[in-house]
Amino acid sequence: MLEKDKLYFVPLYELEELRNKIITSGSDCQVYLNILATILRINILYMIKNAGSGHIGTSFSSLEMMLWLWMMEMRGANDSSIPNSDTFFSSKGHDAPALYAVMVALGKICFNNIHQLRKMGGLPGHPDIHTPFVAANTGSLGMGISKARGMAIANRLRGSKGRIFIIIGDGELQEGQIWESLQPAANGNFSEITVLADLNQIQSDREVSKTSHLGPLVEKFKGFGWNVSCCNGNDFSSLKYALDSRSKEKPNIILAKTKKGFGVSFMECLDENGFYKYHSGAPSDEDYYRALEELTITADRALMASGMDCLLLVCNKKPEVAGVGLRVEKLIQAYGEELCELGKIRTDMVVLNADLVVDCGLVGFKNEFPERFVECGIAEQDMVSAAGGLALKGVLPIVHSFGCFLSTRPNEQIYNNATEKTKIIYTAPLAGLLPAGPGHSHQSVRDISLVGAIPGVTIFEPCNEIETKLALRWAVNENPESTYIRLVIIPVEITYKLPAGYQLNKGQGIRLYTPSRVGSKTAILAYGPVMLGQAINAAREIGADLYNFPWLNFIDEDWFYGKLARYKNLVVVDDHYTKFGLGTLIGAVVAKSRLDIHFSQLGLEEIPVCGQTKEVLRHHQLDDFSIAERITDEFKNI
């Protein structure tokens, strides 16, 4: 009987027993490989539930491919100490839990790491080369084949015969870089490269065919000069046949049809609204135990049929969900509500999305105004240029993708739109350091610097639901130019309030806390719910004034002189790198003013770490205690 306050995993000795069976069983190895795959799904499920986030669907769809490659196909996988060793990496990267589960089963990484997914010092949310036997950093889509060609060139230069195997996703095939990478690989006859396309038919939200249909893939890849074969990627026999059919003259791609969430019946399906529930995030308690029970039954039946004992699962106490603060607010939900309200009035609004309709809060607008909703798929450059075309025809485009992608891949296209002096709104959820579980590929901590210098684009980050709605309404109705809105995607527990009647004034902040009527000699400026939440606790601790300053690339200098010039000490807390964040802007105004103000800025100084909220904030010294301590140390002798 499963206890509902426990999480369950398969211990190492069970994995080792099956591994030995596979090695010694000869032609019957696939029977035991199937059992091992089921058991590894139990551990993947445990890892993601224990971490509180992860990608179940794609980990389950790609597991058989990873397991076969690592156990049956590759020579000295990812071990540079072995001559002519083969290399493997997943280009999509969010199937990292499957990769980790396989490497644990093979003894490549310590078994205890299954308890450390998305925790500091453990296993990153997306692959990182600082983890043993991980060959490349991935998570930003589309880079895999290009990286593989670079590796192949290096191998040739040093005389290595090592082969390179990579997995890509079918949603990933919408990225332009994939298609840029095909012709050079064919021109160079890189037959040592084998790409396995995980065609699980569902991307982040919906079916690939309803997001951005890929068309006749066999003909397309053949047209680029690749050898193409097809298989069932969740069937070892089919997969083996496809791998055995590779060309020795051309690069190879195996179009592997799989099922997202394979192995758990209810995780293989869309919900009643046509969305997929198990792309990212941890399963609910109900879904966790349903999936665990189904996998355990499947494994036990197969074990008994093979003359082996049933599984003995080991359990740990289910981790508690920690909270800090008083009132949970969901900025994405507030944004989506306001978008619908504005859509009723502004019939010139068109919403564009890059396969993140749920995460960006767009379901309501899509359902209410389907003719004004454009799904672009995972193709940010195309989306932003399409928005440019809409704007040139007098339409108001509102573009959506995660900040880590929206500010980077289409940066040139955003600049091109700016040169046309049209109005476009760019909305970028997943802004800032948190959540830190997905890792540095998804932590948008350089977008202020990337977008902030583009003429005619104002960057704004709201601190709560009210300011989120105000920001969108200001961008749509009041700002004559373009706006880039950073949005924190995680629910945040708010410990502050905006004053009654609060309105936005470009380049001006608002004081949220003062320790006395007279005020303090020290002022802290911060923005967004994450850093404001930490900074207000620090302000209370050290007796400083706290300002919300949501304008990230513009300051009203008259407001600065009227409100901030009286302070002896001024500190900016950035949810971004300190280089070219808000602190750089405020610091320049302080320097220009020639006032006797001691200025300091806090923020990221290094590539952000992957982990849980509290440990990551503390590591980067951006938690409330560290902020208070750093400010006190900075100004104690002044």
Q: Give 238's DSSP letter.
A: H
Please, what are the domains in the chain? Answer: 6-317 (3.40.50.970), 333-494 (3.40.50.970), 510-635 (3.40.50.920)
Strand 164-169 relative to strand 87-90, pairing? parallel
Q: Is residue 307 packed enough to be buried (19+ CB in 10 Å), middle (13-18) or exposed (0-12)?
A: exposed
Q: What is the pLDDT of residue 321?
A: 63
Residue 634 binned pLDDT confidence (cut-offs 50, 70, 90): confident
CA angle 341–271–117, rounded 5-degree value: 95
CB atoms closer than 10 angstroms to residue 241: 14
What DSSP string runs through 176-216?
HHHHHHHHHHHHTT-TTEEEEEEE-SB-SSSBHHHHH----
Question: What is the Cα–Cα distance from 420 to 210, expressed in whole angstroms?
Answer: 32
Question: What is the Cα–Cα distance from 456 to 387, expressed in whole angstroms?
Answer: 16
Residue 76 binned pLDDT confidence (cut-offs 50, 70, 90): confident
Residue 323 binned pLDDT confidence (cut-offs 50, 70, 90): very low
Is the model's pLDDT at 1 over the cut of 80? no
Contact status, residue 125 vs residue 442, Cβ threshold 8 Å: yes
Contact status, residue 134 vs residue 125, Cβ threshold 8 Å: no
Q: What is the amino acid identity at position 376? A: C
Q: Work out the mean pLDDT of the chain and round it to a whole number.
A: 95
Q: What is the pLDDT of residue 322?
A: 52
CB atoms closer than 10 angstroms to residue 316: 12
Give me the long-range contacts of 617-622 (CB less than 8 A, separation at least 24): 617/433, 617/434, 617/534, 619/120, 620/433, 622/433, 622/531, 622/534, 622/573
Task: Please choose, from the candidates 205, 18, 213, 172, the residue with its C-alpha nearest in 3D space to the C-alpha of residue 101.
Answer: 18
Contact status, residue 173 vs residue 224, Cβ threshold 8 Å: no
CA distances from 399 to 390, 410, 428, 431 (A): 11, 11, 8, 15
Strand 396-400 relative to strand 327-329, pairing? unpaired
- Find how far residue 294's CA is from the centre of its chain: 29
Task: Please choose, from the candidates 548, 504, 502, the residue with its C-alpha nearest in 3D space to the C-alpha of residue 525.
Answer: 548
- State which H helix or E strand residue 468 sits in: helix 465-473
Question: What is the Cα–Cα distance from 192 to 475, expressed in whole angstroms?
Answer: 51
Task: Please choose, from the candidates 528, 470, 457, the residue with its C-alpha nearest in 3D space to the C-alpha of residue 335.
Answer: 470
Q: What is the pLDDT of residue 517?
A: 77
Residue 519 binned pLDDT confidence (cut-offs 50, 70, 90): confident
Question: What is the Cα–Cα distance from 349 to 368, expressed in whole angstroms?
Answer: 13
Is the model's pLDDT at 494 over the cut of 70? yes
Task: Please choose, from the candidates 58, 5, 57, 68, the residue with its C-alpha nearest in 3D space to the C-alpha of residue 34.
Answer: 68
CA angle 126–145–69, rounded 5-degree value: 70
CB atoms closer than 10 angstroms to residue 596: 7
The predicted-structure confidence for 291-319, as pLDDT tens digits, reads as follows 999 999 999 999 999 999 999 999 999 98
Question: What is the Cα–Cα distance from 5 to 539, expressed in whole angstroms?
Answer: 38
Contact status, residue 525 vs residue 571, Cβ threshold 8 Å: yes
Average pLDDT over residues 167-181: 97
Question: What is the Cα–Cα distance from 386 to 159, expressed in whole angstroms?
Answer: 46
Is the model's pLDDT at 178 over the cut of 90? yes
Question: What is the Cα–Cα distance from 461 to 449, expressed in whole angstroms?
Answer: 14
Question: What is the Cα–Cα distance from 64 to 68, expressed in whole angstroms?
Answer: 6
Question: What is the Cα–Cα distance from 495 to 306, expressed in whole angstroms?
Answer: 58
Cα atoms found within 13 Å of the Cα of residue 111, Cβ hemisphere only? 13
Residue 326 binned pLDDT confidence (cut-offs 50, 70, 90): low
Is the model's pLDDT at 380 over the cut of 90? yes
Q: What is the pLDDT of residue 89?
A: 97
CA distances from 480 to 98, 146, 297, 396, 547 (A): 48, 41, 61, 11, 26
- Give the E-state strand segments of 488-563 in sequence order: 492-494, 510-513, 522-526, 545-548
Task: Please choose, from the candidates 601, 510, 585, the residue with its C-alpha nearest in 3D space to the C-alpha of residue 552.
Answer: 585
| 39-43, 203-207, 421-425, 574-578, range with the lowest pLDDT | 203-207
Question: What is the Cα–Cα distance from 532 to 511, expressed in whole angstroms?
Answer: 11
Question: What is the Cα–Cα distance from 528 to 494, expressed in whole angstroms?
Answer: 11
Question: What is the Cα–Cα distance from 383 to 380, expressed in whole angstroms?
Answer: 5
